[in-house]
Every structure is written in C-alpha cells, then in structure tokens.
Structure 1
Amino acid sequence: MTAAAAGAPLWRHRPFALLCGEQIASSLGRQITTLALALLAVTGLGAGPFGAAALLALTYLPGAVLSPLAGVLVDRVRLRNLLVAVTAAQALVVGSVPLADAAGHLARGYLYVVAVVSGALTFTLSVALQAALPRVVEPGRLLGANSALTAARTSGQIGGPALGGILVGLVGPAPALLAGSAAYALEALLVLALPAALNARVKQVARPPLEALRSGLGVVRAQPRLRRMVLSGAGLNLGSGAATALYVFYAARELALSAWQLGATYAVYSAATIAGALLAGRFARRAGLWRATQVCGLVAGAAVFLIPSASLGAGIVLLLAYQVTYGLSGTVWMISMTTTQQQVTPADMRGRVAGLVQAVLLATVPVGALAGGALAAWFGNVPVLLGSAAVALVSAATLWAPVRSATEEPAKDVPSPI
C-alpha cells in the first residue's frame, strides 16, 4: 500500500509531490515565456497590436486543434517517457530564442513558430498529466489531488509575471527567456524522477487514430453528466472569453481605471483561485461533485454580469467582486469537472477523453474573444458584455436540466496507485 493509498497526507507521497513541483516550474516557465515573447515581439521586432495578439493566439491554437491527437498519443506510449520528452523539448524550444537573438538571426516569423510549437507541447503535457494523475493517487483522493495541483499551478501564475518583469527590466526580453527555459528544464528533471511504473502501458486493443478518437468521444457521449459539463463549459468559456477580450479596454477607456487598479483586479483573481483550490475539496465532498459543479458553474456565469454593471458606478469595487467571485467559483467548477472526468473514464482511454474535452473547452475561448471584439466595434462594449454574460449564465444553467441517469459509476479498470 502506498502512502497515498494508506491515508497519509498527499504531500508525503513522493510521486504526487513531484507533480506539484512540476506544476510550479511549468507555470513559472510559461508566465515568463509569455511575457518575454510578447515584449520581444513589440519592443524588439516592431510588432503592432495585431502582431502581438496573433502571437498570443498562436499559443492557444494548437491546443484546440491538436489536443485530440495528443490524447491518442498519450494512450499509446510510455507515459513517463512522453512527459520527459515534452518538457525537455519545451526547454530547448524556448531556449533557442535568446540563442538566435545573440546570433543576430531572430525574426518575427521565428517567434510565431516558437509560439505554435510551445503551445503544442504545453497542451500535450496537460493531456498527459490528466492521464497520469489517476495512476499516481487512488480514485478516492483525486479531488484533493486536483485541488492541490491547481493551487501549485496558481502559485506559479502569481510569481511568474513579476519575476518575468524583473528579468526583462534587468537583462532584456530575449535573455530573460533563458530563465523560462531553465524552469522548463527543471520541470523535465522533476518528471524524470517520477516512478518508472508510469511507463507501464495499460492493456488495450490497437486501433487506427480515427477509430481511437471515436471511441474516446463515445465515452463522453455515454456519460450524461460529463457530456453536460463539457457542453456547458464550452458555452461558459465562449461568454467569458468575449468578456475577457474586452476587459482591459473597457476598464481603461470606459471606467478610466489606472494601471495599478487594473493590476490589483488581476492579483485578487489569482488569490481567489488559490482560495478556490483550497476550498474545492471540502465543498465538493459536502455537496457532491455534481452539485458543486452545478452551483459553481451558475455562480461563475452570473459573475460575468458584474463587469458591465461597473458602468453604473463603483467600477473598481464591482470588478474586484467579479474577479473574486469568478476566481473562486470557476476554480471549484474546473476541479470538480476534471475529477469527474478522471473517475468515469476507463484507464486505457484517459488520454483521448482528456484531449477531446480540452479541445472543446479551448476552441470556444478564441472564438468568443474574436466575436466579442468584432461585435463591440459595432454595438459598443457594454451591450456586448451584457450579451456575453447572458451566454455564460445560460450555458451554466443547462447543468440544472434533468440528466438521463441519477448516478454515474466510476471506471472499474483503474490501475493501482504507484
């Protein structure tokens, strides 16, 4: 019996502690890289607003397009080897930028290639980790494990931008990417230290990729609550994505918030995310995973209305309230959904299901952002923000419609924790 299975604290379970360290290193690396790449494109290579936006979009595009294929790959290869290869490749890709700059061969097109490759590696890693966690901790502890990993990842998101800003100010954006590369290299070492048992392949029947994808989709369709979560989450991301795209422009232009006030709202959101991760386990255990998902989805959707409401007065207060409410409820919602997904998915199909779910949830974010920006140019910010909030709330409300079955049984072929 492992420490995790015997009831000892998760942080004393070495494989899980390594995953927490990996999440912190990965988050730091991604935050430093995102900031440094954007500043390098704008200040060093003369990219305009569209060029900067395209750089950000290209980091998310691979996740929407390639996640299902990444899921097929995860279910077919040795998992620890894949984790090591992806994280090591990430360190090399990011580290190549300051080397190209030092050699005088850095061009804007190269940054776009780096953004695409880095995004593909990031989201492949995300799918692989969702498949790995149920092999590290027993099913009954997945909720607490997902909460702890979310808290670890968020801690990196808080410190990453600040560290990146300091490094860029001291040495410039290109050399600062060496720190991002170093964080990814540390991540590779941490996953290399995971037990070799993760390389054991789950017994499965070899299938062509397209058939394998269809089988993963069949799992989602066969689980009414999981299917409802995915569709509701896609709509919630569509509405909140549109609102997020307009958030900075709306706050700065229409509400006349200062830079430090805007920064404070983001800081509060990060703190609320950590609080949500700490409270998710307790709330979901008391209310049940499904009820926690229903309640928090509805609260998150309703919270988006606080953004356009800021036009009525007390703008900074209402935006702070939005970030707190959405940070708390959205975090609990995602943790509950991820845990449900891992519990009901057969062990040999976790990669495919995670890849399909990730693709659906990611695809709606840029769609919502582009649609929100285009519509705001015609109708103004507040009407579009109200419409975005309505889409988010209605999507979350679909979780409350009756489902076909009252309960869903966890998958029965879950391997023992390592």
Structure 2
Amino acid sequence: MTSSPPRPSSTAADPGVTPWGVLRRHRPFLLLCGEQAASSVGRQITALALALLAVTRLDAGPFGASVLLALTYLPGAVLSPLAGVLADRARLRSLAVTLTSLQVVVVGSVPLAGALGSLRLSHLYAVAALSGTLTWTLSVALQAALPRVVRPEQLLAGNSALTGARTMGQIGGPALGGVLVGFAGAAPALLAGSAAYAVEALLLFALPASLNRPAESTGRRGPRLAALREGLAVVRAEPVLRRQVLAGAGFNLGSGAADALFVVYATRELNLPAWQLGLVYASFSVATVAGVLFAGRFATSMELYRATRICAVVAALAIFLVPAASLGLAFPALLAYQLLFGITATVWAISMTTTQQLIAPPHLQGRVAGFAQAALLTTVPVGALSGGALAAWLGNVPVLTAAATTALLAASCFWLPHRTATTARPPAPR
C-alpha cells in the first residue's frame, strides 16, 4: 500500500452539497472559527505590546528583543510532544478552556504590574514563555479536536476555513494593537489582548460536551514515555508523515533565515521606502486569503498529496526572488515573492495539516500533531539566529540565496520515491 492520502470527496449524504456548504451550518465548527479569530487577535496584540514594552519602556536592546521572540517559540519546540499526550488523554474541551483562561491571567499580569510600577524585563520574559507554552499546547489540542468535530471529507474545507479565520485576526490584530498602543500605551493595550482570550475561552466552553470524552480510553493507557513512542512510531513509519515533518522543518530553517534578514535587507540594501515595504507586507496578507480560497479547490482537483508536493516546491522557489531583488526591480520582485509565497505556503500548510489528520489514528491525533509541531517550530529560531550571524560575515545576498536553496532541498524530498507504509491507516473518506 502506498502512503498517498485519500482524496477528499463530497459529502455522502448529499453529493450536491459541498463540505463547506455543510460546515456553514455546523455550530461546533463555527465556534472553532470564532475561537481562531479571537485567538489570533489576542496573540497579535500581545506580541506587539510586549515587544514595544521591552524596547521603549524597559530599554531592551536587539539581543533582549530576540530573546523575547525566542521564548515564544521555545516552549512549543520542547513541550509539543508532551502536549500531544495530554490532548489525547485529557477532557479536550475542559483542557482548551483552562489553557485559554490561564492566558487571560498571564497576559493581564503585565498591565497590572505596570500600574503598580513593578514591571521588569524578567516579567516580560516569563509572560512570553508562559504564553507560548499555553498557545502551542492549545494548538496541538485543537488540531486533535477538529477530526472529532467534522467528518473526514470535511477536513480540507475545515482547515481552510480555520486558516482564513486566523488570517483575519492576523490582518486586524496588529492594526488594532497599534491603535490601542497609540492611545492608551503598550501595557494597557494588553487588557484588550486579555479580553480577546476571554472571548476565546467562552467560545471553547460552548463546544459540545462530547469533546470531554478522552480520545484514548483509560484502559489502553501506558506510561507517558511509551505513549510518546507510540506517537513517534506513527510519524516514523508513515512515509508521508515523515516527509512532511522533514520537509517542513528544513523549509522553516531556510525561510526563518530569510525572514530574519528581510527587513534589514529591504531597507538598508535595497533602499525600499516605508510605503513600499508596507505594501509588500500587505500583499502577503492578500495572498494568504487567496491561498485559503484556492486550497480546497486546488487540493481536491490535484489530489491532496500532489498539491502538497507542488506547493512546497513553488513556495521554496519563490524565496529566490528575495536575493534576486538585488539585481534590479526590487519592489516588483519582493511583491511577487510575497504573493507567490503567501498563496503556495498557505495551500501547503492546509494540505499538510489535513493529510496528517487523515492518516493519524483517532487516539493518536494529539501526539502526531505534537511531534510535527515540535519539529516545525524548532528550526524557525535556529534559522533566524543562523541567518543573522552568517549575514554579518558573508552579507545578505549570499545568505538569502543559501536560505532559499535550503528550503528548496527540503521541499524536494517530497518527490523522492515512496516506500510502503507499515502502520495501519484509516479508510478513505466516503
């Protein structure tokens, strides 16, 4: 048996109704969409306000700001596999509500400390680490929850819609955060972040009580170490999952380096004015929305795994446009990069998540998601720090070219010959 994931099909109940047509009337799924939007707004406000507080009020230098960013990724890289065990064994709705409620307290502690005059940089570091831990644990839990909320043939449309909801928050969150910081200051603006997390908690609490039945029954549970090995065994044994993790990790290594250098390269080497740089970033948001709209149709017509393979390579090739901008026509080149990268990377991410959910056994959804997330998050700060260090020595263009090459080599592993899978897979959706 090959490991190509099953092709999503229309709903069995009514072949004339698309999966998204059904999901628009699916209350639990709509609650998840609302949760994703609220969570995204909360994260964007929190990230902006914490960075501004560190730099403007607490005099953090470039290294201090980098540490703040790294602390938001580190918990996900280290703890995601354990979060996967927790997601498979816990009462999922209660876990999600608890994690989000704790976010309200953690983020809300910053304006409280600011009002009391006791805010320190160490406090911001602790908030970044704790908030990152809660964010990435919830991410794993919700990836495990979606296959329990919708049918297999609805997963692709569901992941597309959830990505769209997150994108709306990513577009509106920074603008709202900037306005709040401008009017009230960075610390009080975090009250809005806490409020967004509180709304998220209420939406999660309204999810069906059936999600409080653990995916893994008590009778089949073993020690935590054995549970971790069970999830890792699925990733290692399934060629598609293994390649997704390796390709995603390598791709994030290259793109992380490119992202770390992008602003400095565009402003100092390409001399892009602020309005052009703003349009370049805005084009990525537009491209992400387009990717959400195209994902279901493209992946269904091309077959899910083929869509993943094609989009991964095209997204990697798009990164070469960044160093190519130094040859001339910098603004059009970077605009084309953001548009092409935004569309293909979004389709790839949606297809990859859907494939993972279709292949992973129901009682191992959390652990498979946890291992995948850990691998993907670990290489982002590694790529960013390595890119910055090498650019100081070699220059931006050589490092950006090497970053694009790294991403392309990683994406190319999707095209290696298949081997037969050794683990059982769920039946294709009907």
Q: Counterparts of 1:319 and 1:213 in 2: how far apart (Å)?
A: 42
Q: In structure 2, what is the equivalent of residue 151 of structure 1?
A: 164
Q: In structure 1, what is the equivalent of residue 246 of structure 2?
A: 231
1:313 to 325, 328, 339: 328
2:297 to 256, 268, 282: 282
Q: In structure 1, what is the equivalent of residue 26 of structure 2?
A: 13
Structure-to-structure mapping, 1:34-49, within 5 angstroms: 34-49=47-62
Runs (5+) with no aligned partner, structure 2: 1-10
Cα pair distance change 1:203/1:216, threshold 3 Å: closer
Amino acid in the other structure paired with 1:275: A
Given that residues 5 and 137 in structure 1 are in contact (C-alpha distance below 8 angstroms), is that contact kept between their aligned partners in structure 2? no
Given that residues 33 and 162 in structure 2 are in contact (C-alpha distance below 8 angstroms), is that contact kept between their aligned partners in structure 1? yes
Q: Counterparts of 1:389 and 1:370 in 2: how far apart (Å)?
A: 16
Amino acid in the other structure paired with 1:15: P
Structure-to-structure mapping, 1:6-405, within 5 angstroms: 6=13, 7=17, 8-204=21-217, 205-405=220-420
Runs (5+) with no aligned partner, structure 1: none
CA RMSD between the two structures: 1.6
Q: Counterparts of 1:264 and 1:16 in 2: how far apart (Å)?
A: 33
Q: In structure 1, what is the equivalent of residue 4 of structure 2?
A: none
**244-253 or 220-229, which deviates more:** 220-229
Per-residue deviation, 1:400 = 0.7
Cα pair distance change 1:141/1:410, threshold 3 Å: farther
SS at match of 1:9: helix
Deviations 1:278-313 (Å, cap 9, x if unpaired)?
Answer: 110000000111100000000011011000000001
SS at match of 1:256: coil
Q: Counterparts of 1:371 and 1:127 in 2: how far apart (Å)?
A: 27
Cα pair distance change 1:247/1:376, threshold 3 Å: same
Per-residue deviation, 1:410 = 4.3
Cα pair distance change 1:72/1:65, threshold 3 Å: same
Per-residue deviation, 1:194 = 0.3
Q: Counterparts of 2:422 and 2:367 in 1: how far apart (Å)?
A: 23
Given that residues 107 and 131 in structure 2 are in contact (C-alpha distance below 8 angstroms), is that contact kept between their aligned partners in structure 1? yes
Deviations 1:293-349 (Å, cap 9, x if unpaired)?
Answer: 000000011011000000001101100100001100000111111001000111111
Per-residue deviation, 1:203 = 4.1
Deviations 1:171-196 (Å, cap 9, x if unpaired)?
Answer: 00000000000000000000000000
Per-residue deviation, 1:160 = 0.5
SS at match of 1:75: helix
Deviations 1:98-143 (Å, cap 9, x if unpaired)?
Answer: 0111011111100000000000000001000000000000001100
Given that residues 160 and 292 in structure 2 are in contact (C-alpha distance below 8 angstroms), is that contact kept between their aligned partners in structure 1? yes
Q: Counterparts of 1:215 and 1:413 in 2: how far apart (Å)?
A: 22
Given that residues 93 and 209 in structure 2 are in contact (C-alpha distance below 8 angstroms), is that contact kept between their aligned partners in structure 1? yes
Amino acid in the other structure paired with 2:215: V
SS at match of 2:24: helix
Per-residue deviation, 1:88 = 0.6
Q: Counterparts of 2:29 and 2:43 in 1: how far apart (Å)?
A: 21
Per-residue deviation, 1:411 = 2.1
Amino acid in the other structure paired with 2:288: T
Amino acid in the other structure paired with 2:171: I
Normalising by structure 2, what TM-score?
A: 0.93
Q: Counterparts of 1:385 and 1:71 in 2: how far apart (Å)?
A: 34
Per-residue deviation, 1:169 = 0.2
Deviations 1:142-180 (Å, cap 9, x if unpaired)?
Answer: 000000000010010000000000000000000000000
Q: Counterparts of 1:115 and 1:299 in 2: how far apart (Å)?
A: 34
Q: Counterparts of 1:334 and 1:101 in 2: how far apart (Å)?
A: 38
Number of residues paired by the alignment?
Answer: 411
Cα pair distance change 1:329/1:409, threshold 3 Å: farther
Amino acid in the other structure paired with 2:240: R
Given that residues 346 and 412 in structure 1 are in contact (C-alpha distance below 8 angstroms), is that contact kept between their aligned partners in structure 2? no
Given that residues 75 and 132 in structure 2 are in contact (C-alpha distance below 8 angstroms), is that contact kept between their aligned partners in structure 1? yes
Per-residue deviation, 1:405 = 3.5
Given that residues 239 and 421 in structure 2 are in contact (C-alpha distance below 8 angstroms), is that contact kept between their aligned partners in structure 1? no
Given that residues 237 and 422 in structure 2 are in contact (C-alpha distance below 8 angstroms), is that contact kept between their aligned partners in structure 1? no
